[in-house]
């Protein structure tokens, strides 16, 4: 297969949207999820993010990236105001609605209503979950980190509540996201279902890993 080689000068000469699509594709397949928030005044918001990443399990922390707040960022504003939000995995039966939440709706519009997804409230949590999602997380803001180089913002967050299908939870704690129907993405706008090759045992020097069975019903 012929390859195209590009220097940083070549990349910086690209048209802006072309460069954004190119760079966003380079990292490979990514987590994609819907983040649900609610303002102190009660206005709900739902937005798609493909920048969530694991930070640690003790305590359970994760983060995600928000683009520079040079324009209105309703998700960011609501999280900074209330400290609460939800993360909801996307399934094949509503990925189009999830993608539509990236449209620039006004602050007085709820993307839940606009795209036809259902608000769900549980455990006294102020922020709405997506009822159609199989894997749901309640997150609390821990820290905002501003990136000086480009104005992006990293939100460091704590997991306070999780809802997953019992049939997807394995005996060793592994969540079978493929069985849950979780969608992944590449670039800014390409959505994918997954096909697991194998789970492999913990790697040790000079020992070939063995395949770990994934069971139905955990």
Q: Phi, psi (5° rounding) for residue 179?
A: -65, -30
SS percent in the chain: helix, strand, coil, step 5 = 20, 35, 45
End-to-end CA, the chain: 42
pTM summary value: 0.92
Query: E-strand spans in the chain?
Result: 30-31, 33-38, 44-49, 53-57, 60-66, 84-89, 119-120, 129-130, 136-146, 153-163, 184-186, 190-192, 199-200, 211-212
* 58-78 burial code (b ≥16 CB/10 A, e <16): eeebbbbebeeeeeebbbbeb
pLDDT score, position 217: 60
- From the list 84, 94, 96, 83, the residue with the least C-alpha distance to 128 is 84
User: Where along the chain do its domains lie?
Assistant: 27-212
CA–CA separation, 81 vs 40, rounded Å? 7
pLDDT score, position 216: 74
Tens of pLDDT, residues 51-92: 999 999 999 999 999 988 666 789 999 999 999 999 999 999
CATH of domain 27-212: 2.30.110.10
pLDDT score, position 107: 87
pLDDT score, position 71: 60
Could you tell me which residues come within 8 angstroms of residue 101 by beta carbon, excluding any fewer than 6 positions away? Answer: 34, 46, 47, 48, 111, 114, 115
Low-confidence ranges of the chain (pLDDT < 70): 69-71, 217-218
């Amino acid at each position: 297969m012929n390859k195209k080689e590009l220097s940083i000068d070549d990349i910086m000469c690209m048209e802006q949207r072309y460069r954004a699509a190119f760079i966003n594709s380079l990292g490979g397949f990514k987590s994609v999820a819907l983040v649900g928030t609610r303002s102190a005044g009660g206005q709900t918001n739902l937005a798609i993010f493909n920048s969530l990443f694991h930070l640690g399990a003790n305590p359970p922390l994760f983060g995600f990236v928000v683009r520079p707040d040079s324009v209105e960022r309703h998700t960011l504003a609501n999280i900074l105001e209330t400290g609460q939000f939800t993360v909801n995995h996307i399934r094949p039966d509503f990925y189009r609605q999830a993608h539509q939440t990236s449209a620039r709706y006004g602050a007085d519009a709820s993307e839940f209503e606009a795209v036809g997804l259902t608000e769900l409230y549980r455990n006294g949590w102020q922020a709405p979950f997506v009822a159609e999602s199989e894997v749901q997380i309640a997150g609390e803001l821990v820290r905002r980190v501003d990136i000086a180089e480009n104005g992006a913002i990293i939100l460091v967050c704590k997991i306070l509540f999780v809802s997953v299908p019992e049939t997807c939870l394995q005996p060793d704690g592994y969540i079978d996201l493929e069985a849950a129907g979780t969608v992944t993405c590449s670039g800014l706008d390409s959505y994918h279902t997954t096909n697991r090759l194998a789970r492999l045992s913990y790697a040790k020097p000079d020992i070939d890993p063995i395949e770990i069975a994934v069971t139905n019903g955990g």
